[in-house]
Chains A and B, each alone.
Chain A
Amino acid sequence: MSVGAIGILGVIGLLALIFLRVPIGLALATSGLLGYAAIDGWATALKMFGTVPFTLASAYSLSVIPLFILMGAVASRANMAKELFDAANGLFSGVRGALANATIGSCALFGAICGSSIATAATFSRVAIPEMRRHGYDSAFAAGAVASAGTLDVLIPPSVLLAIYAIAAEQSLPKLYAAAFIPGFVLAALYVLAVFAVAWVRPAWVPRVAAMKLKERLVAAIGMWKLAVLFFFAVFGIYLGWFSPTEAAAVAAFAAIVIAFGTSAMSWRGLVDALLETVYTTAAIFFIVVGAFIFSRFIVLTRFPNELVTWVQAAGLAPFSILFAVMALYLLLGTFLDEVSTILITVPVTLPLVTGIGYDGVWFGIFVTVMCTIGLISPPTGMTVFVIQAQHPDIPVARIYRGTLPFLAADFVLVALLVALPGMVYWLPNVLRMM
């Protein structure tokens, strides 16, 4: 059997194992080991297998992941979401759709700090949806707004998913964070425009709420200082040259703990729970990372990515059609795979393909991350939609999906902008003299 055929069989075997309910990390490790052995023999394959776990014991760059998760776990427990929502509400107060836009603004900042779309959606599902429904918002639209806004964390720095992409694609994390800034906030702005569009087309879904008084708005605005401090340490600390990404994550996690205790917003029990939640989540993610390391060694051995690039170049396919195929692949995977697995499984193949048509690893990181935000709200397995439905069982899943449609359209507008104006990704890294 040719090496190429083994490569294709390996990918099919991986997907079959995943479909048969084998944990994703285990499926990656198994298909990677068997594929490697089929090409290079069992002796070499087993040697490779035995060395992979140790690479995780000497990977300083990976330490950024649990530290950012810890910061988010503490922020989630310290009532920061409610204060931020009130502050954002004060900012938008008086305009039609103020509560929905406050949800988007606060999810963008809280999600960035929290780092988990699921946790952000779960938190704001409790904070924002009851408030919107109380003021007469359409329940499907309110739930759709939270489900969609909950995915903004994937793109806005400090994003855990971008940190994972940086490891899988061997890219600089500070450069990726700088590159994600403009697209991240453009996406948040597009979501705000989507709210205004819905308010214009279906005013009954988005009733006008009485404006808050100036004093109330100022008081509410002060409430966002905690997350502003964390954001400053976690993101600006890197660009001011104070910290490396790992140091920024450690300082921000420490600051979150100090703020939470200093404002009596968290108990010792809460801290222990946050630490435990972090280590369990880290173990689940890193197990996939170990599997992905093993699988990617097999993929490299097959030379499948190089042959795919050669084939694509020989076939003379237009770059746009290749990009379209890559987009279709991510939309398909997004329907059943989580975003971490999607990135770790696909990047070894798709990155060479996309760089072969003139894009680079930084642009692709942002592109692939946006595609993952779409996967988080697209049927049949939009995770944030399920999280919200679990907390609001009276809103049917199909109606929540309908509520996400305006925001899904905004996601696709951003994808189109990224393709048409790739400069929006490079502008900030260029200003910061990183490119």
Chain B
Amino acid sequence: MKDWHETGADPRDWRGTAAKVCGWAAAAFLAAMMLLTVADVALRALLNTPIRGVVELVELCLACTFFLALPASFLRSEHLVVDVIDGLAPRRVPLLKRASGVLAVIVLAVLGWQSWLVAQDSIAFGDVTSDLALPRILYWIPVLTGIIGSGIAALAMLLRRDGRA
């Protein structure tokens, strides 16, 4: 049922390195999210001075964690797949993998394009968060980076020379 690492990028080539870099960047934001929340709880309990705008900062860290890790999950072929068909028509599997790779590139391209349009509106209106007045575009940076990076990752996996999709 699950397709973990089945045809993921070779850790020795540039795709494997790119997956690692994405993973480390996302892991850094995850650690920041945890430490920020623990610090807020501790400061609130001990000194009655919680960190101002912690919810907004945690949301930013969460966006960075997920969207920066997303290209890695394409490069590592870690998306959940139902592989019932493998037993029924094994010879069709390479073609189906290639077709879903093409679909991934198209969907991510459309998603990136549409998200960019919404992000432009956010810049034009000068949206800011309510507590810390952080520009909303800060949140859009990981979102767009993740979607566009995932599109490139899906394309890179599709164009692998060894023919594995």
Contacts and interface: CB of A to CB of B under 8 A. Distances in A.
Interface in B1-60: 1-3, 23-24, 26-27, 30-31, 33-35, 37-38, 40-41, 45, 55, 58-60
B136 to A, nearest CB: 9
Contacts, number: 189
A255 to B, nearest CB: 9
A250 B30 contact: no
Contacts of A30: 103, 107
B117 interface: yes
Contact of B118 (A51, A246, A286, A287): A51
A49 B85 CA distance: 29
A272 B65 CA distance: 14
A336 B82 contact: yes
Contacts of A383: 1-2
A278 B62 contact: no
A19 B78 contact: no
Nearest to B93: A21
A337 interface: yes
A253 B34 CA distance: 8
Q: Is the interface of B mostly helix, strand, loop or mixed?
A: helix
A89 interface: no
B123 interface: no
Interface string A231-273: 0000000000011001100110110000000000000000010
Interface stretch (A59-67, A179-187, A393-401): A59-67
Contact of A283 (B70, B85, B111): B70
Interface in A280-336: 280, 282-284, 286-288, 336
A46 interface: yes
Contacts of B60: 57
Interface string B54-85: 01001111110111111011001011111111
Q: How large is the interface on B (under 10, 10 to 19, 20 to 34, 35 or more residues)?
A: 35 or more
Given A49-B111, A250-B41, A338 B1 contact: yes
A86 B37 CA distance: 34
A21 B1 CA distance: 10
A54 B143 contact: yes
Nearest to B70: A283
A418 interface: no
A282 B146 CA distance: 14
B111 A50 contact: yes
B59 A283 contact: no
B46 to A, nearest CB: 13
A336 B83 CA distance: 9
B110 to A, nearest CB: 7
Contacts of A405: none
Contacts of A275: 27, 30-31
B80 A56 contact: no
A126 to B, nearest CB: 18
B59 A59 contact: yes
A386 B1 CA distance: 10
A279 interface: yes
A98 interface: no
A29 B142 CA distance: 20
A21 B83 contact: yes
A288 B34 contact: no
Contacts of B115: 50, 53-54
A23 B111 CA distance: 16
Contacts of A19: 82, 84-85
A247 B55 contact: no
A18 B85 CA distance: 10
Nearest to B110: A49
A272 B85 CA distance: 36
B67 to A, nearest CB: 8
B66 A286 contact: yes
A276 B23 contact: yes
Given A21-B96, A53-B147, A283-B69, A60 B58 contact: yes
A56 B38 CA distance: 22
A343 to B, nearest CB: 13
Contacts of B79: 23-26, 284, 287
Given A50-B114, A50-B117, A275-B30, A280 B59 contact: no
A340 B143 CA distance: 23
B152 interface: no
B1 A66 contact: no
B101 to A, nearest CB: 10
Given A23-B100, A247-B40, A247-B41, A57 B142 contact: yes
A20 interface: yes
Given A275-B27, A284-B78, A57 B97 contact: no
Interface in A1-52: 18-26, 29-30, 33, 46-47, 49-51
7 contacts: A47-B114, A50-B113, A54-B140, A63-B33, A67-B34, A280-B78, A284-B73
Interface of B: 1-3, 23-24, 26-27, 30-31, 33-35, 37-38, 40-41, 45, 55, 58-63, 65-70, 72-73, 76, 78-86, 93, 96-97, 99-100, 103-104, 107, 110-111, 113-118, 139-140, 142-143, 146-147
Given A49-B110, A279-B68, A381-B84, 19 more contacts: A20-B96, A26-B100, A26-B107, A29-B107, A50-B117, A56-B67, A60-B58, A63-B33, A70-B30, A243-B41, A246-B58, A250-B41, A272-B27, A275-B27, A275-B31, A279-B65, A280-B23, A282-B69, A338-B1
